[in-house]
Amino acid sequence: MGIDIEVRCAHNAGMHAADDRSLQPNEPVIFTIGHSSLTADDFVRLLRSQGIDVVADVRSQPYSKRYPQYSRDDLRNLLRRAGLRYAFLGDQLGGRPASQQFYFEDGHVNYAAWAASDEFRIGLDRLIASAAKWRIAMVCAEEDPATCHRHLLIARALRDLRGWDPARILHIRSTGRLQTDAEVNPQRQLSLSGMEEQWKSPQSVLHKVQQRASSSA
């Protein structure tokens, strides 16, 4: 079970110039990146620097008024022109699930409940299966993984629920530096997540999900 690629294209032969960077089938790696305020050229350059084949969009709302080049259609077209593939996984791995059953009363996402859902598990299966075939990078908006559900939710689910070594989850920073998930500041994660015993989103976002639902009705 892999990702249904929305953009079919030939592999960029120059993308894997360094053969020693090739991944063994039994040692898949999952990359992540936050587009933040990066220019389109810099974003593509960072992806190419790590030989990325596929970009998996894990934003629940794949649109940006401030940076329109990263809205879903624009991003897909940008990647197509760069010879990269695009896949949308925001419905399954997004940080703002549509159903209110996955929220605490204060509006924070109940990450534990969302990670245990069928939707999320299927999305995680697709991500893992695809990582065995391609060099794949999850994309969201935040540059710093410590503040993003790429680290707080998805990477933790990979580690705690699927036994992934955090050294095989690599965050591409805007400077080009690679940061393993183990290197993301755990103290900062704790302060953002609130109480240690609760696995939840750092912010209350239910009202934003409700606004999205009402605007699309």
Each residue's pLDDT tens digit, 118-127: 999 999 999 9
- Report whether pLDDT(8) > 90: no
User: What pLDDT band is residue 191 in, cutting at 50, 70 and 90?
Assistant: very low
Q: How confident is the model at residue 22 (pLDDT cuts 50, 70, 90)?
A: very low
Q: How far apart are CA 78 and CA 150, in angstroms?
A: 22
pLDDT tens digit string along 100-114?
Answer: 999 999 999 999 999
Between CA 132 and CA 88 the distance in angstroms is 18
CA–CA separation, 133 vs 54, rounded Å?
10
Q: Where are the alpha helices (DSSP H) in the chain?
A: 40-49, 72-81, 90-93, 111-115, 118-131, 149, 156-162, 186-193, 206-216
More confident residue, 5 or 145: 145
* pLDDT of res. 207: 73
pLDDT > 70 fraction of the chain, expressed in percent and rounded:
78
CA dihedral defined by 158, 101, 149, 67, rounded to 10 degrees?
140
- pLDDT for 197: 57
- pTM for the whole structure: 0.83
Q: What is the mean pLDDT of residues 197-206?
A: 87
Confidence category of residue 175, pLDDT binned at 50, 70, 90: very high
Residue with the larger pLDDT of the pair 195 and 51: 51
**pLDDT class of 64 with cuts at 50, 70, 90:** confident
According to the model, what pLDDT value does residue 192 have?
45
CATH fold, domain 27-216, is Protein-Tyrosine Phosphatase; Chain A (3.90.190)
Contacts by 169-173, CB closer than 8 A, 24 or more apart: 169/29, 169/30, 169/32, 170/29, 170/30, 170/31, 170/32, 170/50, 171/31, 171/32, 171/33, 171/145, 172/31, 172/32, 172/33, 172/46, 172/47, 172/49, 172/50, 172/137, 173/143
pLDDT value of residue 3: 73
* CA 101 – CA 80 distance, rounded (Å): 36
Q: How confident is the model at residue 73 (pLDDT cuts 50, 70, 90)?
A: very high
- E-strand stretches of 141-192: 169-172, 178-180
Average pLDDT on 166-190 reads 86
Average pLDDT over residues 63-75: 93
